[in-house]
Chains A and B, each alone.
Chain A
């Protein structure tokens, strides 16, 4: 049994206060680069991305599944883009099944990936690795 728990209660109170403040700031902080809010069409695309569990296989900013490639910049990568995305949605490939999206749904998914693309770069090949172990990432507005 702990004889005097008061110091621990005090530490807990301080941590909780810091946590509350930290959360408030995080929730009210936008990304580093100012971008447009998701449009209604992009939100529809995001819903499709979720309900079809695209994240099971694909990643955005390196977060998601590992069976398929990262899609952060698939919209703007040379040789890829909207038609490339739609071609994969139409026919499937290897372990990716064929999805039966309507044309409107495919447009929504493409719009979502376009707006994701505008937020940043991944993989961030031009990032600078510093001696402190820090990585200074390159942002979209620095291109």
Chain B
């Protein structure tokens, strides 16, 4: 294997994942002991480290996987290996700069992009380089793209746009009008998530077609129907985050209507459930297959939750509570992370076909991960329900009293957060080994 840059991306991504979890665990400990480290590393300092590391995990793992699939599985000649290396170096250096920015409190940015806004320039440049390499490579190598190539291309293009949009607040035209500014901020954040979902869901379809050895999964009309449905949601479905913001009502009507189209996705999942499970060819990629099965489960749970709180009458009670956190954790860990681990196992197996991946320890880690995530998720739902009850039903007691009443769920959230960390570390061990051995050879 001559081109090792995709593996560098993947190792970088795994490092971000585990560092991010450490930051997250330290921060969440402050829910249990509010005075703990609050003057030295307060929650407000740790949260940007956690959020940026975890979004980096998703984005870097998706990027590395796509580069690997194109160059090493499809065996397309990459348009420019130099651009690919430059892309990696840019992201690596910017990552280090962002950590410094957080450590020394250069945090003029906003939620999810708290770092100094100037650091968005190299990030954008990296995405542009990725886009040039991606589109040029595919243009010369392939006609009639399967749906995952469309999804990756869309993800890259929309990522560039929404990263810029997330910084429109730098202009007074937006900034001075609080409601418009706030709406655009949450529009861009919602669509930023939609953009990385395009990359990650494209990876899941790619893996399914490769594991099943069935190209029809990625080329039939139904696959394209769901792609365009997802794209429509990415473009117009963001405003359910802002139902309670006094924007023009039509913005919220559009969001409500678009969000409800996701019932079609749910119906399809239920309809195809048995068929997809039975048809999968699992022998060659046992762990990649198992993680995709876990994805199926987490999509099912999360889409029900998302659909429910896209209904304004339900959103009214769940908005601003931990139920929203349960959804974001459920999707980033339950869906994005399981798909990306499936990709990592697929790649590791591709690099070292004889290496046994589904060892007893890895299997134990896989089961522990899913159980921990489930209890973690349920703890947040209960904490959110209690907060909502305090806000809209009892309306009694102070905020601090309400927080004290949900400490048992924070304890459970913290303990099973450790469970997720340890189990993923166990699961990731053979992947680390396979990648590092390949880099050394």
Footprint of B on A, CB under 8 Å?
1-5, 8, 11-12, 15, 18-19, 22, 26-27, 29-33, 35, 37-38, 43, 46-47, 50-57, 59-70, 92-98, 115-116, 119-120, 122-125, 127, 129-130, 133-135, 137, 139-140
Report yes or no: B178 in contact with A53, Cβ–Cβ below 8 A. no
Report yes or no: B231 in contact with A53, Cβ–Cβ below 8 A. no
12 contacts between A and B (CB under 8 A): A1-B215, A2-B146, A31-B247, A38-B177, A50-B110, A53-B44, A63-B241, A65-B43, A67-B31, A94-B35, A127-B244, A135-B315
Chain B 410-441, CB within 8 Å of chain A: the 1/0 string?
Answer: 00000000000000000000000000000000
Nearest CB of B to A71, in Å: 11
Nearest CB of A to B111, in Å: 5
Beyond the given A27-B180, A95-B35, please list 17 additional residue pairs across the A-B interface where CB-CB is below 8 A.
Answer: A2-B145, A4-B144, A22-B236, A26-B184, A26-B251, A31-B177, A32-B246, A32-B247, A56-B43, A61-B245, A65-B44, A94-B400, A95-B34, A95-B42, A97-B42, A116-B178, A119-B179
Report yes or no: A15 in contact with B232, Cβ–Cβ below 8 A. yes
Report yes or no: A43 in contact with B187, Cβ–Cβ below 8 A. no
Nearest CB of A to B34, in Å: 4
Residues on the A chain within 8 Å of B150, using CB: 8
A1, A115, A139: the one contacting B246 at CB < 8 Å is: A139
B142, B244, B311: the one contacting A124 at CB < 8 Å is: B244
Bound Cα distance A19, B400 (Å): 43
Given A31-B177, A95-B43, the answer on whether A56 and B186 have CB atoms closer than 8 Å is: no
Footprint of A on B, CB under 8 Å?
30-31, 34-35, 38-39, 42-45, 47-48, 105, 107-111, 114, 142-146, 150, 168, 174-180, 182-184, 186-187, 215, 219, 224, 228, 231-232, 235-236, 241-249, 251, 256, 311-316, 319-320, 322, 325, 391-392, 399-400, 403
Given A56-B47, A120-B245, A123-B320, the answer on whether A27 and B184 have CB atoms closer than 8 Å is: yes
Nearest-neighbor residue (CB-CB) of B154 within chain A:
A12
Report yes or no: A19 in contact with B184, Cβ–Cβ below 8 A. no
Nearest CB of B to A16, in Å: 9
Nearest CB of B to A33, in Å: 6
Residues on the A chain within 8 Å of B247, using CB: 29, 31-32
Bound Cα distance A50, B142 (Å): 46
Q: Which 8 A-B pairs have the closest CB atoms?
A: A62-B320, A31-B179, A95-B34, A56-B44, A120-B246, A37-B176, A2-B144, A69-B399
Nearest CB of B to A70, in Å: 6
Bound Cα distance A30, B251 (Å): 11
Report yes or no: A53 in contact with B228, Cβ–Cβ below 8 A. no
Residues on the A chain within 8 Å of B232, using CB: 15
Report yes or no: B45 in contact with A53, Cβ–Cβ below 8 A. yes
Bound Cα distance A135, B48 (Å): 33
Residues on the A chain within 8 Å of B109, using CB: 50
Q: Which of B48, B246, B391 has the most CB of A within 10 A?
A: B246
Residues on the B chain within 8 Å of A64, using CB: 111
Report yes or no: B44 in contact with A135, Cβ–Cβ below 8 A. no
Residues on the B chain within 8 Å of A26, using CB: 183-184, 187, 251
Report yes or no: A129 in contact with B316, Cβ–Cβ below 8 A. yes
Given A3-B144, A137-B244, the answer on whether A50 and B108 have CB atoms closer than 8 Å is: yes
Nearest CB of B to A75, in Å: 13
B42, B186, B392: the one contacting A123 at CB < 8 Å is: B392
Bound Cα distance A140, B179 (Å): 13
Bound Cα distance A30, B173 (Å): 11
Report yes or no: A5 in contact with B145, Cβ–Cβ below 8 A. yes
B107, B144, B313, B399: the one contacting A68 at CB < 8 Å is: B399
Nearest CB of B to A10, in Å: 11
Bound Cα distance A115, B251 (Å): 23
Bound Cα distance A126, B165 (Å): 33
Nearest CB of A to B27, in Å: 9
Nearest-neighbor residue (CB-CB) of A61 within chain B:
B245
Bound Cα distance A65, B27 (Å): 12
Report yes or no: B143 in contact with A1, Cβ–Cβ below 8 A. yes
Given A61-B242, A95-B43, the answer on whether A11 and B320 have CB atoms closer than 8 Å is: no
Bound Cα distance A92, B146 (Å): 56
A2, A22, A125: the one contacting B235 at CB < 8 Å is: A22
B107, B243, B249: the one contacting A32 at CB < 8 Å is: B249
Residues on the A chain within 8 Å of B31, using CB: 67, 95
Report yes or no: B107 in contact with A53, Cβ–Cβ below 8 A. yes
Residues on the A chain within 8 Å of B142, using CB: 1
Report yes or no: A43 in contact with B176, Cβ–Cβ below 8 A. yes
Nearest-neighbor residue (CB-CB) of B387 within chain A:
A66
Bound Cα distance A47, B108 (Å): 7
